[in-house]
Copies of this chain bind each other. A is one copy, B any other.
C-alpha cells in the first residue's frame, strides 16, 4: 500500500510534507528521546518516504535547525530597516518585533523543541553556535548604525537575551497572542532591574 502510494498515488510535491515531517519528528523526539529516534520512524509516523524527507532535511538534527542559517541575515536586515533616528537598543527591539512572526513560523513547536535541545549536549552546542552567529550579525548591524564596537557587542548580547526571554514566554502561553507585548515586557523588566545601576556607586564603591 505505501509502496503503491509512493510509486504512483502520491503527488511528488506535498505542500504540507515538511510540516508533517517536522510534527512527526518533534513528537517522536519527545516520546522516545532524541538519541533513540531514526529517520525511518519519522517518515513512517508522517506517512511519507525517505526520499521526501531528504528533499527537506539532511538528517534528524536538521529538523530542529532547518532554516536557522537565514536568521542572522533576516534579523540584521530588520535592524538596518529600523528608523535611522532610533537609538541602537530601540532599533534592535523594533527589529526583534519585526521578525517575531517570521521566526515563530520558522520554529514551530518551540517549547517542545527547547525541551529536546535541553536533553542533548550536542544539540545545545549547535544551538549556541547558531545564537553566536545571530549575535555577531546583530552587533555588525549596530556598528553600521554608528554604535561603537564594544557597545554594539554588549547591546547585541543583551538584545538576544531579551529576544530569547520574550520568545520563550510567548511560546509557553497556551494560546500565544502578542509577541510585541512580550518583547516590551522583557525589555521593560530588564530596564527596571538595571535602573539602580545608575546609583551603583553605593553598591560597588569607587574604592572597592
In the complex the two chains form, is A197's CB within 8 Å of B191's CB? Answer: yes
Most buried by B among A88, A164, A196, A197: A197
Q: Majority SS of interface residues in chain A?
A: helix
A85-139, CB < 8 A from B: 86-90, 93-94, 97, 124-125, 128-129, 132
* Chain B residues with CB below 8 A from A190, complex form: 154-155, 158, 194, 197
A132-184, CB < 8 A from B: 132, 150-151, 153-155, 157-158, 160-162, 164-165, 168-169, 180-181, 183-184
Most buried by B among A93, A183, A208: A208
Q: How many residues of A contact B (CB 8 A)?
A: 51
In the complex the two chains form, is B125's CB within 8 Å of A193's CB? Answer: no
Chain B proximity of A186: nearest CB distance (Å): 7
- Report if A188-B196 is in contact (Cβ < 8 Å); known contacts: A90-B203, A154-B162: no
- A sample of 19 cross-chain residue pairs with beta-carbon separation below 8 angstroms, ordered by A number, consists of A88-B193, A89-B193, A89-B197, A90-B196, A90-B197, A94-B204, A97-B204, A128-B128, A150-B165, A157-B157, A157-B158, A157-B160, A157-B164, A158-B190, A180-B208, A183-B204, A184-B201, A191-B195, A191-B198
